[in-house]
Amino acid sequence: MLDGKVRQIIDPVLDWMGSALAARRISANSVTFAGLATGLAAALVIALEAYLAGLVLLLISRLADGLDGAVARHSRTTDLGGYLDIVSDFTFYGAIPLGFVLADPAANAVAGAVLILSFYVNGSSFLAFAIMAEKQGLTTIARGSKSLYFTTGLAEGTETIAVFCAFCLFPSAFVSIAYVFAAVCFVTAGARVLLAIKSFD
């Protein structure tokens, strides 16, 4: 929901940084892998209950996630790069809740499982829509130039990162926040299914 507005603010900075990295022959895929490694490190330190360190690492990870596309635009965009970016994103999105589950399984396991399920459902609705949109030749630039068709919704990247930050700042509230955001993700997936029925039937 907020990605479009946030992109208007951060894209000029990311574009400048991406241009500088591309000029130094740093590839977009290497930035993607660096972002994934940092995101997994965030999940690990969260599991060790170092929540503020996890917050710093996850923000660095998301900076890399924004930078890889900017680097690609200043060097070479590829289908492989788009594929690796999506796989990296979904790995990160699952790893952070898992970190909180491992930090306190007794308190967080059920809420974490529900949240990860909501990500799974929401992600599958997103990717399946993109596949069918490609098959039917549909295009969109609602979220900028992307490797595949991006449908908008209540739960997008900005909202997810905000929730992850809230987890790190208020770890004792993980259960409550997780259930609320899981509900938002299920609503987003449901809206996307309705859109698919309208678009593809």
Distances (CA, A) of 171 to 55, 94, 145, 178: 11, 17, 35, 11
Separation CA 186–CA 147 (nearest Å): 24
Contacting residues for 59 by C-beta, under 8 A, at least 6 apart: 161, 165
Global pTM?
A: 0.85
What are the structural domains of the chain?
A: 3-200 (1.20.120.1760)
High-pLDDT (> 90) share of the chain, %: 56
Separation CA 170–CA 175 (nearest Å): 10
> Phi and psi dihedrals of 148, rounded to 5?
-145, 175
Taking the CA of residue 166 as centre, how many other CA atoms within 13 Å lie in the half-sphere pointing to its CB? 14
- Asked if the model's pLDDT at residue 121 lies above 80, the reply is yes
Please report the pLDDT score of residue 2 as a whole number. Answer: 56
Mean pLDDT of 84-109: 96
Taking alpha carbons only, the member of 94, 101, 84, 150 closest to residue 119 is 94
39 CA to centre of own chain: 11
- Asked if the model's pLDDT at residue 77 lies above 90, the reply is no
Q: How confident is the model at residue 19 (pLDDT cuts 50, 70, 90)?
A: confident
Alpha-carbon torsion 90, 93, 95, 101, what sign?
negative
**What is the residue type of 36?**
L
- Asked if residue 88 lies in contact with residue 36, where contact means CB atoms within 8 angstroms, the answer is yes
